[in-house]
Structure 1
C-alpha cells in the first residue's frame, strides 16, 4: 500500500497507463481517455502490476464499478477533481427498478488493490432539493467496498454524501487523512476499515457509524486519531457515535436480521466536538425470526471509545459498551 504515497509525491513525473482529462487540458504522459469508464475498460484487460490512472481537474459525472484488481487513481486536485453521481436507493436505475443501497454507489469496488488519492468521491443526491418528490428510501452511497474488494487504500480523499456515504462491506481497507461527510449511518458495513487522522463531518443530526461486523471478525470500523466535526447549525448532543446494524438476510427458516452481525466500532484518541451525544451509543431495530421489530442494544455488541478529547468527549460517560 506504500506505492500510492510514492505516486502522489511526484505524480506528474510518472507515466500513467491512462490519463483522463478534458480536451486540451495539461496532464502527464500516457494514453488519453474521455472518461473514467473508458479507462477502467482498459484496466480490465490482462496485465501485470497496478493500472495507474491520472484524473484531471473537473466534475466527472460517472457511476463506476471497479472490477479489475490493482486500479490506482490519482487526482490532479483534491477538491477540484470530483467523481460525482446522484443515485439513491429509492430512485429508479436504467432498468426501471430502484438502485437499492448497494447499487447506489458512485464508485463500487469489487476487486482487490484499489487505491485512490487526491480527489473527491461524491453522491450528490439531495432529498431536500426534490421536496415531496424525494423517495422514501434515501440511502445514497458515495463509495462502496463490495464483495471481492480487499487491500483498499485511500489517501487525502473527500468522500461526500448524506445518508450511507461510505459503505465498507467487505475486505480490509485503510483511509488516511480523508474527509468523510454525511448525516445518517454514514460509515457502515461489515468490512474491516481503519480510518487514520481523518475528518469525520456530520452534516446534520444522526449517527456516524453503523457496523454490521460478523461475530467471527475481531476488527470492524476503527477511527484512529480522527477529528469529529460538524457543519454549521448541527445542534450540540445531536449525533451518536454509532448504532449496531443487523442486516436482513434470507435463511433456510425465513427472512430476518442476521444473528451473526455483532457490530464492532472503536474510537481511539479522537477529538470530538460538542455535537456528539453524551450517551455516545444508541440502539437500532431489526426483524427477528418471529417477524417482530426488536432493538439491538449497544451493550450486546462491540462498541468502545478510548482517549477521546474535546467538548464532545463527555468524560463522565462510560468509555465503552463491550459485552463482558
Structure 2
C-alpha cells in the first residue's frame, strides 16, 4: 500500500456506518463472521479518511495515526473505507482519544491484519517477535475507540511447521478506557491480549456486540475487560480431548475485576466437552497473578464440559484462581462440583458498571 498524499483541511461530514443501538444488545445480536451490522447509520465528522486508493487522505491506517495530533482530549475520528489493510498498526501513548470507524455495511468489510507469530524471525535478524511483538494492532493510547471493523492475525500455522511458538496476537491493548463496538477479532492462539502497562496498573476495556475467535488462551492478560452481548467462538484443533481454552487471565491479586462475560454466546464446532472456559496464567510464575473470570447470564454450547476450568503448566491450579459462573444456559451450562457458581447475592454487584467504573467513574456508554 502507498503512504499518505498531501491533504488540506478536512471539513466534510462523512456518513459512516456505526454501531448504534438504542438498547443493550442481546447475545443473539453478536457479530458473527457473516453477520450484517444493520444497526442504523449516523452522520459523523471524520478528521481523516483511509482507503485503498488516492481518493482517501491516506492509504494506510498507520499513516493516518501518525498524522493525528498528540495529546487530544476529545475524539479524533479516522474513517476506514472498505478494504483489507495488511499492515502492523501501533497507537502510541501520546495519542489518546483516537477513534477508528469502518464505513462498510458490515464489520468484515474493513479488515486490519498482519501475520506475525511469536516465533516469526524479525526482518533484521535480531531474533523473533515474541508474543507481544506478534500483535497486528497494538493500542497504547488511552480512550481509544473502534467500531464496525475487523482486526485479525492471519498467521498460517499449517504453512509454517518450522515455527513452534505459534502465539499470534490480533490486538494487544495496554491502555485504559478502551471501547470496542461491533468489532471482530480473528486468530488462533492468543487472539486478544488485554493487558496493562504494569502488573499493578489497572486498565479497562469494554467490548460490546463483538465477535472473538481462537483456540488456545485466545482472551488473555491482566486488564479488566467486560464482554457484553458478544459471540466467543472456540475453533477446533482436531482433538478428541482438548481443543483449547477460552481465557487465560493474569489479574493482579489486588484487582477484584478481571474478565466479565455477560449475555454472551460461547460457540464452537469442536467436539462436546473438549474446550475449557479458562486456565490461570502466571506470567514469569508470578504468585500474585490470581486470574479472575466470571461468565454470567450467557449461553454456552456443548463444547464446554462438566469440568470447565483447567490447571496451567507449572503447577498452578485453577481452584486457586477466581473463576465462577452465574445463571448460564445452554447444553454446556452444566452445574457440577468443578464449576463454581455465584449465589444471587454474590452476583448482584458483579455488573459491567462495577467492573469498569474505577476511581474516575468511567462509563463507556455515557
TM class by shorter chain equals: 0.7 to 0.9
Q: Offset of 1:95 from its aligned partner?
A: 3.0
* TM-score for both structures, normalised by structure 1: 0.85
Q: Which residue of 2 aligns with 1:101?
A: 131
Q: Distance in 1 between matches of 2:86 and 2:247?
A: 27
In the alignment, structure 1 residue 159 sits paired with structure 2 residue 191: no
Structure 1 contact 85–123 (Cα < 8 Å) conserved:
yes
Q: 1:245 aligns with which of 281, 292, 303?
A: 281
Q: Offset of 1:47 from its aligned partner?
A: 4.6
Q: 1:69 aligns with which of 91, 96, 104?
A: 96
In the alignment, structure 1 residue 201 sits paired with structure 2 residue 219: no
Q: Offset of 1:319 from its aligned partner?
A: 3.6
* Number of aligned residues: 291
Q: Distance in 2 between matches of 1:192 and 1:46?
A: 24
In the alignment, structure 1 residue 52 sits paired with structure 2 residue 77: yes
Q: Distance in 1 between matches of 2:334 and 2:275?
A: 13
Q: Which residue of 2 aligns with 1:252?
A: none
Q: 1:266 aligns with which of 294, 300, 309?
A: 294
* TM-score for both structures, normalised by structure 2: 0.76
Q: Offset of 1:62 from its aligned partner?
A: 1.1
Question: Higher strand proportion, which one?
Answer: 1
Q: 2:303 aligns with which of 254, 263, 275?
A: 275
SS in 1 for 2:273: coil
Q: Which residue of 1 aligns with 2:330?
A: 310
Q: Which residue of 2 aligns with 1:253?
A: none
Structure 1 contact 145–167 (Cα < 8 Å) conserved:
yes
Structure 2 contact 102–149 (Cα < 8 Å) conserved:
yes
Q: Offset of 1:74 from its aligned partner?
A: 0.5
Q: Which residue of 2 aligns with 1:217?
A: 255
Q: Distance in 2 between matches of 1:5 and 1:124?
A: 25
User: What whole-Å deviation, never above 9, does each CA across 1:164-222 have from its counterpart, x for those lacking one?
Assistant: 00001121000001000000000000000000110000012100000000000000011
User: What whole-Å deviation, never above 9, does each CA across 1:42-99 have from its counterpart, x for those lacking one?
Assistant: 1144555211010011111010111110110000231111001001000012332211
Q: Distance in 2 between matches of 1:189 and 1:46?
A: 27
Q: Which residue of 1 aligns with 2:14?
A: none
Q: 2:210 aligns with which of 167, 170, 178?
A: 178
Q: Distance in 2 between matches of 1:188 and 1:63?
A: 20
Q: Which residue of 1 aligns with 2:9?
A: none
Q: Distance in 1 between matches of 2:257 and 2:231?
A: 21
Higher RCO structure, 1 or 2 (CA under 8 Å, sep 6+): 2
Q: Distance in 1 between matches of 2:131 and 2:286?
A: 17
In the alignment, structure 1 residue 19 sits paired with structure 2 residue 39: no
Structure 1 contact 298–321 (Cα < 8 Å) conserved:
no
SS in 2 for 1:141: coil
What are the equivalent positions in structure 2 for 1:33-52 lying under 5 Å apart? 33-45=58-70, 47-52=72-77
Q: Which residue of 2 aligns with 1:115?
A: 145
Structure 2 contact 48–77 (Cα < 8 Å) conserved:
yes
SS in 1 for 2:282: coil
Runs of 4+ residues deviating >6 angstroms: none
RMSD across aligned positions (CA): 1.9
Q: Distance in 1 between matches of 2:165 and 2:119?
A: 5
SS in 2 for 1:296: coil
Q: Which residue of 2 aligns with 1:150?
A: 176
